[in-house]
């Protein structure tokens, strides 16, 4: 994930909000994604945002996009122990044929 950067670890208490941040480099990316990976499993799409949007809310998830700073964030409200996983930020490039992933943020939720 050399062009998409995110912090590697985040630890929160159950019930708190989690905010995972990401910076990307390609201003022409049309879609930006958040994927979740649980242990031993593949990646699953959590949510995405189109580049002409600033914010998207989906139940406990809020995505904020700052195109000027190329900054994307994912907020998880009322974080639960089941939210413990690796969260990958990703951008779609090369006409949509190449998705670049960040290194993943390991979210630990303490009961």
Partner 1 sequence: DTAVSQTPKYLVTQMGNDKSIKCEQNLGHDTMYWYKQDSKKFLKIMFSYNNKELIINETVPNRFSPKSPDKAHLNLHINSLELGDSAVYFCASSRGGGLQNTEAFFGQGTRLTVV
Judged by CB under 8 A, the stretch of 19-27, 42-50, 53-61, 69-77 that binds partner 1 is 42-50
Cβ proximity to partner 1, 14 vs 106, nearer residue:
106
* 29 token code pair: 């990316």
Contact call for residue 111 and partner 1 (CB under 8 A): no
Concatenating the DSSP letter of every residue in the chain gives --SSEE-SEEEEETTS-EEEEEE---TT--EEEEEEE-TTS-EEEEEEEETT-SEEEETTEEEEEETTTTEEEEEESS--GGG-EEEEEEEEEGGGTEEEE---EEEEEE-
Site for partner 1 in 48-67 (CB under 8 A): 48, 50
Contact call for residue 98 and partner 1 (CB under 8 A): yes
Closest distance of CB 15 from partner 1, Å: 27
Distance CA(43)–CA(46), nearest Å, equals 9
Judged by CB under 8 A, the stretch of 14-22, 57-65, 73-81, 94-102 that binds partner 1 is 94-102
| Contacting positions for partner 1 (CB under 8 A) | 1, 30-31, 33, 37, 41-45, 48, 50, 86, 88, 92, 94-101, 103-104
């Amino acid at each position: 994930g050399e062009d998409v950067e995110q912090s590697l670890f985040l630890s929160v208490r159950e019930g708190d909000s989690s905010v995972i941040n990401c910076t990307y480099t390609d201003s022409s990316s049309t879609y930006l994604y958040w994927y979740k990976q649980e242990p031993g499993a593949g990646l699953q799409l959590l949510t995405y945002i189109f580049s002409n949007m600033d914010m998207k809310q989906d139940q406990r998830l809020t995505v904020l996009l700052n195109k000027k700073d190329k900054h994307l964030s994912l907020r998880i409200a009322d974080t639960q122990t089941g939210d413990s996983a690796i969260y990958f930020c990703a951008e779609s490039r090369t006409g949509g044929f190449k998705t670049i992933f960040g290194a993943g943020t390991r979210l630990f939720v303490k009961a």
